[in-house]
Amino acid sequence: MKTYLLAGFMALGLAACGPAPADDVADAGVGAPAAKRMPLPDCGQVEAEDLGVDGWKHPDCRLMLPDQSGLAIEARYAPAEDDSTELKIQVVAPGDATLQELVERMGGTFNGPSVEDFDKDGKSDILMPLETGNVNTTWAVWRQVDGQKFVRVGEPNGVSIVKTDSGYIAVQGRSSASEYFVEFFKLDGDVLKSLLTARVAGALDDKGEKVISADCTIEEGADLAALGLSADAAKAQFCAEPTVDGLVKDMLGPQ
């Protein structure tokens, strides 16, 4: 995903939704016999239908993983309790055998599932949307590990998820019309561990129309001791990250 300015945003807020009970997230039998499947449209070619107060109606769809695995995912939706939606994804091997079944509960979101190699390890991962706010999306991230298995590693909230050249997972998001954030994570085993958040805030001119300055700060509460950094060193390091510095430059525009 492009890491510089967050124009044309997808929406998503903090997720009130989360994973289905553990019993619903299980292997469907590795090596299960292939079954003839009804053809589904490509997830990249379909859109959710806005039903107003009734939320979004999502069409069932299918996606091929863009890596060398030959796997596909099939996404199916069903009404669930509390006006939520059950999103069930089957991981499908060549020949149509189901390898794994992933289940999440969705709130209001027009986003559908997507596949991308968010950690740049050569294996495609699955992002399942949970909730939509004004701008940001909360995703259930299922990381592909060895043996063509997927493990749920966390629920980052933002607009884009990228692996930085420095080895972090950076999640860009938007707090307001003139404030953005980048939350930095590290993979700790099978968990996305949040390290700190850099915020970029812009100051507007007297007419409230043009950003005349932009400043990067490190959000309070970061465990800097675990990073071995002072407050000044953390600001110098993370505010200089391209995912953050690019926001500052885009916000200021041509000078």
Give the pLDDT of residue 29. Answer: 47
Pairing of strands 85-92, 191-204: unpaired
Higher pLDDT, 34 or 232: 232
Q: Tell me: pLDDT of 53 over 90.
A: no
Higher pLDDT, 133 or 254: 133
Q: What is the mean pLDDT of residues 17-38?
A: 50
Q: Tell me: pLDDT of 52 over 90.
A: no
**Which tens digits make up the pLDDT trace of 113-161?**
999 999 999 999 999 999 988 889 999 999 999 999 999 999 999 999 9
Long-range pairs of 222-231 with CB within 8 A, sequence gap ≥ 24:
222/195, 222/196, 222/197, 223/195, 223/196, 224/196, 226/195, 227/195, 227/196
**Which tens digits make up the pLDDT trace of 57-91?**
999 999 999 998 999 999 999 998 888 999 999 99
pTM for the complete prediction? 0.82
Q: What is the mean pLDDT of residues 13-39?
A: 50
CB atoms within 10 A of CB 155: 19
Give the pLDDT of residue 13. Answer: 39
**Which tens digits make up the pLDDT trace of 165-187?**
999 999 999 988 789 999 999 99
